[in-house]
Structure 1
Amino acid sequence: MSRRTDRPARTEAARPQGTGSPAARRPAARGRLVAGVLATLACLGVQMAPASGAGPDAGPSRGAAVPDFYRPPASLPAADGALVRTEPLPLALSLPGLDGKPLPGTATRLMYKSTDSGGRPVAVTGAYLEPSAAWRGGGPRPLVALAPGTMGQGDQCAASLGLEHPVVLDGQTVSVGYEDVAVYRLLASGVAVVVTDYVGLGATDRLHTYVNRLDGGRALLDAVRAARSLPGASVTSGSRVGLYGYSEGGGASAAAAELQPSHAPEIELAGTYSGAPPADLAEVMKGVDGSALAGALGWSFNGFLQSDPRLRPIADARLNATGKAALADLATRCVGDAILAYAFEESTAWTNGGESVTEIVAEEPELRATLDAQRIGTLKPAGPVRLATGVQDDIVPHAQARRLAVDWCRKGAAVTYEAVDLPDLGDGLLTNHLVPLITDQGAAVSWLTDRLSGKATTSNCWTMPFQR
C-alpha cells in the first residue's frame, strides 16, 4: 500500500505550514533532488547545452527538433505490424569491432502500423537493433521486444531518439535514454532487440497514451511483427521471442503477455519480464501523487483524454486553471524536466474543490470504469513470466504488483515472482522505485536469455502466500 493511502485529503490552505508539513518540506526536497540530478550529470561528464530559446509552450516537443521521419503519412497499411518506413539509426555508442562489424551492432529506425484502444489505425515508431555478437543459445537468433519505462509525453522523449542522443539538456528538455543499458546487455548476449516508442510518443500526430494497457501491449507485439518483416534482419518467424519492460514498460510487457493469444496468436512467447508493473492504476495514482514523479498524473490524464474524449467534460469541470495548465505543459515534457518542474506537487492544487485525483476518481463513475478497464491481471499471460518488484517501492506500489503475480498464479500461469528486498531509500524520491531496476536487471536479462535458449523454468506460485 502506498505511503499516502491512509492519510486524509486536505487542501493546501488547510495544511499546517510548520517545518514538518508536506508544503514546508517540498522546496527543500526539490532542492535536494535537483542537486542530486546535477551532481549525477556532472559525474557523467555531461554539460548543460545552451537554451534553444523556445518557451514552455513551444509545441509538443518544447522546441526540440524531431526528425521528419516521425511524421505519420496520411494513410497506413491494413495489417498490424506492417512497416510504414525505415531508415538507418546512428547509435550514440558504437565502436569498431575486430571483424569490421560495429559494436554492439547496427540499428534501424522503424515506423509501423498498430491499432489503438479505440480500434483506430495508428502509426508507431521504434527501433530494431541487430547485434554483432553471435547467438550461442541454439536455434535462430532470438528477438526481445523492449517496452521502455516512463520517458514522458513530448515527442522528443521517444526511446528510439534516446538511442541516438542518450542525454539531452537544451534548456527546455532533460532526457536520459536509461533503457539503453538493458538494450546493450541483450545485444551483448547475441539477442536482437526491437524497441517500441508506444502510441503517440515520437509519432507526431497525437499524444502518448501513457499506461494504456491496450495501446502499450499491442504496440509491443506489433513491434515483433515489424522486426520480423524488416529486410536484412537475422530474426525469422522461427526465432524465439521474449518481452522485457520495467515500470511503464513492465505494464506494457505484462499487458502484451495477456493480449498475445487474441492480438498476435502467431507469436509464441518464450518468456516475459515484467518489472514493477503498474497493474492497478488507482493504487499507482496514490503512490505518484505528491512524489518526485507527480507529473505522471498529468500524463495519465492526458492519455485517457486522448483515448476517450467522453472524459473531457469531467476534466473541464473538476480541474482548475492550475491543473489545466499543468496538463498542457506536461504534454510537452520528458521525465527529467517534469521531475525538476513538478516534483512533490500534490493533485489537490489542480482541482476546483481541493480534492485529490484519487477522490475525484472515486466520485466519478466514468473515471472509475476507465481505470477498471486498465487493470492488468484479468487475463492469463502467455508463456512463463518473471515479475519483480521492490518491496519498498512507494511510487508503483509493491502491493499492487505482487497482487498481479497472485492473480496470474490463480489463473494457472507459470510465474516466477521476485521480491527485491532493499532498505527504504527515501519516501517519494523515486529511489525505492529505480534502484530495483538497477539491482535486478542482470538477473532479469539472465532469466530471459535462458528462456530464449529453450531452458525450462519453474514457477514459485506455490510459495506466494508466504512471500512478501
Structure 2
Amino acid sequence: MRKATAKRKKKPLVMLEMSSLVVAGLTVPAYTAGAPEPTVGCDAADDAIYTSSAAAPGTPGQVISCRTTKLPHVPGNIPMNAWKVQYSSTNNVGGPVAVSGTVAVPKSEWRGPGPRPIVAFNPGTLGLGPQCAFSKQLAGEYQDAYEGDNISAALKAGYAVAATDGAGYLTGQTHPYVSGQDAGHTLLDIARAAPAVPGSGLDGKAPVGLWGYSEGGAASLWAAQLAASYAPDVKVVADASGGVPGDLKVVAKALDGGPFAGFLTDALVGLAAAHPQMPFDEIMNGTGKEAIEKAKSLCLVGTIANFAGQKVENYSTDQLSLDQMYALEGGDGTTWGEVVDRQKLGTGIGPRGSGAKYEIAFPVMQYRGLFDEVIPTETEDATRQAYCSAQVPTRWKTYPGEHLTADNQAVNDVVAWLGDRFAGETEYGNC
C-alpha cells in the first residue's frame, strides 16, 4: 500500500528482567526507567543490527546497537550523519521487542528556536522479506521501494529524521503488517532512541513530528493515538498521515481478488504473526501455505506481481471467505473479526482532557489522492470525519493523483505544515 519503483526516480507502478545483555560485542547492563542509559558505541557489525538477542531490553527506546551508514537512496546530496540502529520497543501485548531503523541528522547548523526537531517517519508497504527493510533500502543494499524524497525534504528543512523499519525485520522474524499497536509503538520508540545515538547531538526534549503514508499513515496515526498513554515523555507536536487504511475490513473487501491482492496476503500473514494465538496456519491448504512462504520472501514489487487477482478463499482447506475467517475464534474466544476491528483508527479518540481512551494533544494532517485505487476513499474519508467529530484539530487535503503518486505530491506541503507546528503556530484544522 504505497509507491513502488525499480529505479532511483519514482514512477507509479500499476500495480525480563535480565542482569546483562551482550550486543555487538558489548555488555550492556540492563536498567530501568530513570536509571542512566548504557553507553553503546556505533561500531556494531551490520549483521548485529538485524539480529535479535535472546531477550530485548525492557526499556522502550533504548539503543541496543548502532553503526554509522551512508544513505545513497536519499536524493539531494545532503551533508548528514546517519546511523543504522537497533532499539527496544513493545509489541501489542506489552512484551519487549528489538526493532531496526535509521537515524539521520543534517550537518548544517540548526538555526531555529529550541533544539533541532525530529521527524519520526514510518515508510509505506515494503514487503515482508527481510531484505525489504527500509534501512537497507535507504543504505543502498536493496532497491525495490523506498521514500527517499520524504526523507530528503525533511533533512533539507533542517530536521533530523528517525525512520523505523517497523517490527519484524530482524533475522527469523515476520513483520506484523497492519498491526496498529505494534506499529505505533515502534514509531514512538525510534523518536525516543534517536537522541540516545552517540554523536547525534539530538535533544531528548526536541519537538517530534510523526509522518507516514499508506501502511505508514496508519502507523503514524496509531502513534498519534498512543502517544499520550505510551510515550508521554516524547514531545509530539503534530502528526501527518496520508493514504490511511483506517478500517481494514473495508480495505480487505476491496483488495480481495483485485490487482493489489498482495497487500491483503501480507495483511493475513502480518496479523497472524502479531496474534499467534489465532487460528491461521492450521486452516491453510497447500496453496495457502505456499502463499505464506512466498509472501515472507518478497518485497513490494514482487508482492504485487505474484498475488494479483488472488482471492482469500483459495488459501484455506474449507475455502473460507473473509467473513467466514472473521468468525473463527482463538483459544480465548476472541474472533478474527474482533482482532481486525481493533486495528480500526478513529475510535475512542478525543482531545486532551476529554477522558477518551486515546487523547490526542496535538493537531493532525490527513491527506489522500482523489483517484486512490488501492485504499477505498470511503475509509480514508471516514477516518478524517472521525477525527473531526472527536474535535481533534485536523487539516485535510486531497491531491490530483492516485495512491501511488499522491504521497509524493504532498511531500512539500507536509514538511511545511510540520515546520509550522515546530515553530509553535496554532492549527485549528479545516473540518
Q: Which moved more, 1:385-394 or 1:258-267?
A: 385-394
The answer to whether structure 1 residue 316 and structure 2 residue 282 are counterparts is yes
Cα deviation, residue 288, structure 1: 2.1
Which residue is equivalent to 1:451? 421
The answer to whether structure 1 residue 330 and structure 2 residue 310 are counterparts is no
Which residue is equivalent to 1:119? 94
Cα deviation, residue 338, structure 1: 1.3
Which residue is equivalent to 1:77? 57
Cα deviation, residue 442, structure 1: 1.7
Which residue is equivalent to 2:108? 133
Which residue is equivalent to 2:404? 434
2:413 counterpart letter in structure 1: A
- Local SS of the residue matching 1:273: strand
Mapped contact 1:416–1:459 kept (Cα < 8 A): yes
Q: TM-score, normalised by structure 2?
A: 0.82
Cα deviation, residue 415, structure 1: 0.6
- Local SS of the residue matching 2:166: strand
Which residue is equivalent to 2:337? 368
Query: How big is each residue's C-alpha offset from its partner over 1:97-127, in whole Å with a ceiling of 9 and x where there is no partner?
Result: xxxxx73412111001111012211000101
The answer to whether structure 1 residue 223 and structure 2 residue 203 are counterparts is no
Cα deviation, residue 210, structure 1: 0.2
Counterparts of 2:83 and 2:51 in 1: how far apart (Å)? 17
> Relative to 1, partners in 2 of residues 1:248 and 1:42: Cα closer, same or farther, differing over 3 Å?
closer
**Is there any run of 5+ residues in structure 1 with no aligned partner, and where?**
1-36, 46-65, 97-101, 169-174, 423-431, 462-468
- Local SS of the residue matching 1:304: helix
Matches within 5 A, 1:338-349: 338-349=303-314
- Local SS of the residue matching 1:129: strand
2:234 counterpart letter in structure 1: I
Which residue is equivalent to 2:378? 399
Query: How big is each residue's C-alpha offset from its partner over 1:246-286, in whole Å with a ceiling of 9 and x where there is no partner?
Result: 00000000000000011001112111000011111101112
The answer to whether structure 1 residue 382 and structure 2 residue 361 are counterparts is yes
> Relative to 1, partners in 2 of residues 1:105 and 1:258: Cα closer, same or farther, differing over 3 Å?
same
> Relative to 1, partners in 2 of residues 1:245 and 1:44: Cα closer, same or farther, differing over 3 Å?
closer
Cα deviation, residue 355, structure 1: 4.5
Which residue is equivalent to 1:14? none
Which residue is equivalent to 2:26? none
Which residue is equivalent to 2:233? 266
- Local SS of the residue matching 2:189: helix
Mapped contact 2:75–2:149 kept (Cα < 8 A): no
Query: How big is each residue's C-alpha offset from its partner over 1:110-161, in whole Å with a ceiling of 9 and x where there is no partner?
Result: 0011110122110001010011234343221100000110001111111011
Which residue is equivalent to 2:157? 189
Query: How big is each residue's C-alpha offset from its partner over 1:222-258, in whole Å with a ceiling of 9 and x where there is no partner?
Result: 0011002222223213311100100000000000000
Which residue is equivalent to 2:255? 288
1:261 counterpart letter in structure 2: A
- Local SS of the residue matching 1:128: strand
Mapped contact 2:78–2:155 kept (Cα < 8 A): no
1:376 counterpart letter in structure 2: L
Query: How big is each residue's C-alpha offset from its partner over 1:197-235, in whole Å with a ceiling of 9 and x where there is no partner?
Result: 11102x124210001110000000000110022222232
- Local SS of the residue matching 1:103: coil
In the comparison of the two structures, how many residue pairs are matched? 380
- Local SS of the residue matching 2:277: helix
Cα deviation, residue 394, structure 1: 3.1
Mapped contact 2:75–2:148 kept (Cα < 8 A): no
Cα deviation, residue 342, structure 1: 1.7
Counterparts of 1:205 and 1:41 in 2: how far apart (Å)? 26
Mapped contact 1:276–1:388 kept (Cα < 8 A): yes
Equivalent of residue 163 in structure 1, options 138, 143, 146: 138
Cα deviation, residue 329, structure 1: 1.2
> Relative to 1, partners in 2 of residues 1:253 and 1:95: Cα closer, same or farther, differing over 3 Å?
closer
Counterparts of 1:145 and 1:360 in 2: how far apart (Å)? 35
Q: TM-score, normalised by structure 1?
A: 0.76
Which residue is equivalent to 1:413? 392
Which residue is equivalent to 1:99? none
Would you tell me which structure has more helix in proportion to its own residues?
A: 1
RMSD value over aligned CA atoms?
2.5
Cα deviation, residue 420, structure 1: 2.7
Counterparts of 1:183 and 1:104 in 2: how far apart (Å)? 13
Aligned sequence identity (%): 32
**Is there any run of 5+ residues in structure 2 with no aligned partner, and where?**
11-45, 351-359
